[in-house]
Amino acid sequence: MGVVGGHAVIMGGSIGGLVAARTLSRRFTSVTVIDRDTLPDGPHSRKGVPQGPHAHALLISGRKKLDELFPGLTDELIAGGAVPFDPGRDLLFHQMGGLRIRFTSGQLGISLTRAYLEHAVRRRVTALPNVEILDRTAVSGLFGVSGRVLGVDLDDGRRLGADLVVDATGRSAGRTERWLEQLDCPAPKTTTVKIDVGYTTRVMHRQGGELHGDALLYLMSAVPPHDKRAAAVFAVEGDRWIVTLGGWHRSHAPVDPEGFAAFAEGLPSPHVAELLARTKPVDEGNAERFLYPAARRRWFEDLKKVPAGFVALGDAICSFNPLYGQGMTVATLEAVELGRCLDRHGEATPAMARRFYRAASRVIDTPWQMSTSSDFMYPETIGAKGIGTDLMNRYVRQVMMASHVSVPAHRVMLDVQHLLARPAAVVRPDRVVRSLIGARRSPAHPASTGSGAAAGLS
Ligand SMILES: Cc1cc2nc3c(=O)[nH]c(=O)nc-3n(C[C@H](O)[C@H](O)[C@H](O)COP(=O)(O)OP(=O)(O)OC[C@H]3O[C@@H](n4cnc5c(N)ncnc54)[C@H](O)[C@@H]3O)c2cc1C
């Protein structure tokens, strides 16, 4: 690991900004993280991360990487109430008209609230001797000379010089483009995939025994293209269940408790309605709602001119359909890549930024391709559909159905989803044959039901 020295400023103190602070603290003499929000002392949701109260899955690859950056973090989180689980064994995964077969994967997942994870990571970052976190302070702009960022302007009139400024301010449209314009740098091309996803969330008390003793439930791609609903039910710290209901293309759950329960009752899996009927809400009021119109990717790697002393990271580069639970993991993996690129170049030159964007792009490619391809299972999805997407989706549907009866099919889906294996693993020739045979054994396969309920699946 090389030492760059000097001062790094990170705009945004959410997961992306915090993991970047960890990697930069090992390379810069001092690091300042700036967030416009009031950062809470405890594991509480906050205004600057409005998605915070909703179900947040931490992929296995993300958990492992966070543990490398913050040794002992997983154990600490479990000791504080995060629920450990095996994603093959302790999770009801309802997809394509059936439940995935159970098996012991040997992988360790943890289920927890977003606020609890962020709080634990923030505590670790706060304890780093060369990192300062300034909250209630907004960055109002960048300053520099043409092609080189020299620091940030704050809304209280102060100016902070920096050898590297990291934009971790999230997915907001236009903000990153404005930063770059100030420096005479072109804005990156942006791709959007319109999905109109809605999240509606209630938190329930957990007594034990609900969900037949399982820790999590996922309902995804119930039966596309007809059924656009989704559900995530996670056991989390504080003996609570986070129940998030919703779906693609305005298949959104109502916020009033009666409408919320009725939406659950209509789901293809009975488990969510059963859980709601057995448990009491932590808060009697209406559910929380979050609307997510489109996934967005900015192609920094294609820019002809990138400024020195500046990189974007996390949702500022790519904001994924949240239903796939990828954002925090990708931000973490990008922060690690940023460290590697700095080691290689020794300072924040345009060449370093370029290398970083290429590395970030390699991190993003797989989850972006997986999530947007799945989104195109719904004809209402609007965006640039990659060549071969429909063909691949037809095959993936077979693998999803095979996962109802075949452990190897479930394992490969799990590994790819958690970014532990590349999607190429799904199309290995031996797997193709086994998946196609396995799919026909699924009770949800049209050949089994004879009902055409899974029309479009074969
Ligand atoms: C509904 C929903 C559910 C999701 N579920 C999952 C999930 O299950 N798993 C998963 O991994 N990811 C999930 N995500 C994505 C995840 O929340 C983000 O990928 C993650 O927060 C990383 O984002 P970030 O740090 O880049 O930006 P953000 O989390 O958006 O944070 C940006 C930060 O910048 C600050 N800020 C903004 N402007 C300024 C400024 N001018 N000056 C100073 N500070 C500023 C904000 O206050 C905020 O703290 C979900 C997202 C949504 C919308």
What six digits make up the tokens of 291?
A: 């609307």
pLDDT in tens, 211-260: 989 999 999 877 778 899 999 999 999 999 999 999 999 999 999 999 99
**What is the reported pTM?**
0.95
Adjacent-strand bridge partners of 310: 165
Give the list of residues 6+ apart from residue 113 with CB closer than 8 angstroms, or none. 43, 52, 53, 56, 236, 237, 242
CA-closest candidate to residue 148, choices 33, 306, 359: 306
pLDDT at 455 over 60: no
- Atom index in ligand 1 nearest the CA of residue 292 equals 53
CA-closest candidate to residue 380, choices 267, 248, 252: 248
The three-point CA angle 115-116-120 to 5° equals: 115
**pLDDT-derived band of residue 2, with 50, 70 and 90 as boundaries?**
low
Report the top-level CATH class of 7-84+106-189+298-371: alpha beta
How far is it, in rounded angstroms, from Cα 365 to Cα 360?
Answer: 9
- Atom index in ligand 1 nearest the CA of residue 329 equals 11
Q: Where are the domains of the chain?
A: 7-84+106-189+298-371, 192-293, 389-449
pLDDT in tens, 369-409: 999 999 999 999 999 998 899 998 988 888 999 999 999 99
What is the separation, in whole angstroms, between the first and last Cα of the chain? 51
How far is it, in rounded angstroms, from Cα 363 to Cα 369?
Answer: 11
pLDDT at 456 over 60: no
**d(CA 172, ligand 1 centre) in Å:** 10
Q: What percent of the chain has pLDDT over 70?
A: 96
pLDDT at 451: 47
Report the top-level CATH class of 192-293: alpha beta
Tell me 385's DSSP state.
P
- Atom index in ligand 1 nearest the CA of residue 138 equals 42
What six digits make up the tokens of 193?
A: 């995939």
Instruction: Spell out which residues line ligand 1, taking CB within 6 angstroms.
Output: 11-17, 34-37, 48-49, 51, 54, 56-57, 138-139, 168-171, 199, 290, 292, 314-316, 322, 325-329, 331
pLDDT in tens, 281-337: 999 999 999 999 999 999 999 998 899 999 999 999 999 999 999 999 999 999 999
What six digits make up the tokens of 124?
A: 């670790």
pLDDT in tens, 59-109: 999 999 999 999 999 999 999 999 999 999 999 999 998 999 999 999 999
**d(CA 169, ligand 1 centre) in Å:** 8
> Pocket of ligand 1, candidates 34, 49, 91, 139: which has the most ligand atoms within 8 Å of its Cβ, to mutate?
49
The rounded mean pLDDT for the chain is 92
**d(CA 378, ligand 1 centre) in Å:** 26
**d(CA 52, ligand 1 centre) in Å:** 8
pLDDT in tens, 112-169: 999 999 999 999 999 999 999 999 999 999 999 888 999 999 999 999 999 999 999 9
